[in-house]
A and B are shown apart, each in its own frame.
Chain A
Amino acid sequence: MPETLLSVENLSTVFTLPGRALLAKSARLTAVSDVSFCLEEGETLGIVGESGCGKSTLGRSILRLIEPTEGRVVWQGRSLTALSKTEMRKARRDLSIIFQDPVASLDPRMNVGQIIEEPLKIAEPKLLRGERRKRVERVMDEVGLAPEMINRYPHEFSGGQAQRIGIARAIVTEPKLIVCDEPVSALDVSIQAQIVNLLKALKERMGLTLIFISHDLSVVRLVSDRILVLYLGRIVEIGPRQQVFQNPAHPYTQALLSAAPIPDPVVARSRERTALQGDPPSPINPPSGCGFRTRCPIAREDCAKDLPPLAKVDADHQVACLFWTEVRADPALAAG
């Protein structure tokens, strides 16, 4: 039985926005709302959802790059949310992050060697310069960067190469968990595949656990063991990849999957599509009850009353929909 590495317990992150007019009350934006899940060592959890659903905030709140408002993050039995700033700094050597925009996430005034060694300086301050250099060269080799590039600057690199630098920086402290926040979204398709394969290979080699945040369902399907679907900051469905993709239980997951383009004209023409109407509601003023009900093709009166609890579909598969059994029984229902 693999060990539970990370557990996120009732995590919420709320931002306070200034009032729009003079003397107006400040607004509260609930980006992440009551999210709980566990991560086992060595698994990859894909977090999907549309822009504004809170997926990046969730990733950052877990690492306390954004302070969560409520709830706990427990890392190997220790509550991260209870740590002081200094203790958290030490804990970060095990917890790393890769960002979406590879060029913007690298300091333009630092050369590649300086960028990659920086986390190491904090994690292992006693390391001698020469040893640090060796470690940097080793990770550069691991991510496919030639060691001669060590003195070059970020602007000299293409997007794909820059993302390799970002990955090297993320793995240099030999972390156990990496949050990958849209790591390939800014890259060309042929380069995306290079980076995805690199992440998969590193995961195997280093025994990493990954949280892979992406709006691109096809990339998520390729890399993830389990899938977490977010809508308006809440989990609407969580379960093993196979089940979520082949037999989704939430009408939103169904809609998301059916809207994702498939690069095959014959399949694209023949498949049934759930066309969602409208836009997601504002997280400042979410609807009562189920957040998805304003766009849901099967919404009923009951959906406006209370938040639907996460119900058990299978052992490891949960869904927050009052009528999921009907959705399951008749997928055409959600196709409206």
Chain B
Amino acid sequence: MNATIEPLLTLSDYTVRFTTLDGTVNAVNGLDLAVARGETVAVVGESGSGKSQTFNGVFGLLARNAETRGAVNFEGRDLLAMSSKELDTVRGADMAMVFQDPMTALNPAMKIKHQLIETLVIHKGLKGKAAEAEALAIMKKVGIPEAERRINQYPHELSGGMRQRVVIAMALLCRPKLIVADEPTTALDVTIQAQILDLFRDLTADAGTALILITHDLGVVAGIADRVVVMYAGRIVEEGPVDELFARPAAPYTAALLRSIPRVDRDADAVQPIGGRPPDLINLPRGCPFNPRCGFTKDKCRSERPPLADVAPGRRAACWSPFIDAAAGTAEGQHA
């Protein structure tokens, strides 16, 4: 990937913490990530892995008790240094977000038309007929049938799939360079999910928009991503091109995650669960955060945290004994 050549978005030593009555929640812990123009990156993890909070922070949408550190660079601008007002010139315009639940992302008391026009007025200075025409064009682009009628309706009059199309239309209004979609199909039925993923695939291919897809669903990832980032306990445990990562996972957590999911295209008697529980973000384990659940734990894993290191061209893993030998660049294959 050309992530190193011309990154669109770079997170460096990015940290998000929440102060709560129970203690400090370490949601994101020193993340380094680069996303290139036009690429589709899937960020995978279970609840509490920090995948959503990372990008909520990028968009300045964290709760008040949050504290961020590090740097977020978007096209040469440091987003963390910006005031909320300055950030408004970037978000919604150059980068847009699509959330899981389209009903809460839309204003229930406003017609679809006005929600779309609002964005165009604020970011592009369009008015009246011009704004309306643009809004209608984008509704058609995301495949909403009878767009002329739909645009005058309220969100509750639309089905879940249609609402998510409207939210995607809103995200596309200003032709952003980056869309971050946080579990955009989790609330939808599979046949509707397939439609929405097709839409994302077409849109990113046509416009060269970079897409960061946050999801827990490895099936969704396999169908859409160029590159995959696996997160655990607020850190990246592995990243790499989608085919290689699925075929030969380098980190034991990735391998365990892949083994734990049943497949619709195969008969199986059982799946292999990951034992134990996700880590407590207030009291993170010493060393590698996955060590209490990992089947390959050694003494070093309990005392020292493994850095995210190159294991093969374009692939990194945070593990003291990854399944891929960095020097040889080949899989040891003991896990397959």
Contact = CB atoms under 8 A, between A and B. Distances in A.
B220 A188 contact: no
Chain A CB within 10 A, most for which of B46, B161, B260:
B260
Given A197-B271, A261-B220, A218 B264 contact: yes
B246 A265 contact: yes
B24 interface: no
Given A50-B191, A215-B190, A222-B262, A263 B270 contact: no
A175 B247 CA distance: 43
B46 A200 contact: no
A260 B198 contact: no
Interface string B257-300: 11011111111101111110110000000000000000000000
A242 B271 contact: no
Contacts of B258: 263
Contacts of B242: 265
Contacts of B271: 193, 196-197, 222
A260 B256 CA distance: 21
B192 interface: yes
Nearest to B225: A265
B221 interface: yes
A8 B257 CA distance: 39
A189 B145 CA distance: 35
A189 B216 contact: yes
A242 B266 CA distance: 10
B274 A193 contact: yes
Majority SS of interface residues in chain A?
A: helix
B257 A189 contact: yes
Nearest to A159: B47
B89 interface: no
B268 to A, nearest CB: 6
A324 interface: no
B218 A263 contact: yes
B192 to A, nearest CB: 7
Interface in B227-275: 242-243, 246-247, 256-258, 260-268, 270-275
A299 interface: no
Interface residues of B, number: 47
B222 interface: yes
A158 B47 CA distance: 11
Interface string A117-136: 00000000000000000000
A86 interface: no
A28 B221 CA distance: 40
Interface string A237-251: 000011001000000
Nearest to A295: B191
Contacts of B266: 221
B162 interface: yes
B132 interface: no
B223 interface: yes
Given A189-B257, A261-B222, A279-B161, A51 B189 contact: yes
Contacts of B145: 278
Given A192-B260, A262-B263, A268 B278 contact: no
B219 interface: yes
B222 A189 contact: no
Contacts of A335: none
A222 B265 CA distance: 10
Contacts of B246: 263-266
B42 to A, nearest CB: 10
Contacts of B118: none
Given A189-B218, A190-B257, A221-B264, 18 more contacts: A188-B216, A188-B278, A190-B46, A194-B274, A196-B271, A218-B262, A221-B262, A222-B270, A260-B264, A261-B190, A262-B223, A262-B264, A263-B258, A267-B222, A269-B223, A275-B194, A275-B198, A276-B195
21 contacts: A160-B277, A189-B217, A193-B260, A197-B271, A218-B261, A218-B263, A221-B266, A221-B268, A222-B271, A256-B190, A262-B219, A262-B222, A262-B223, A263-B261, A267-B222, A268-B219, A276-B191, A276-B195, A279-B159, A279-B192, A280-B189
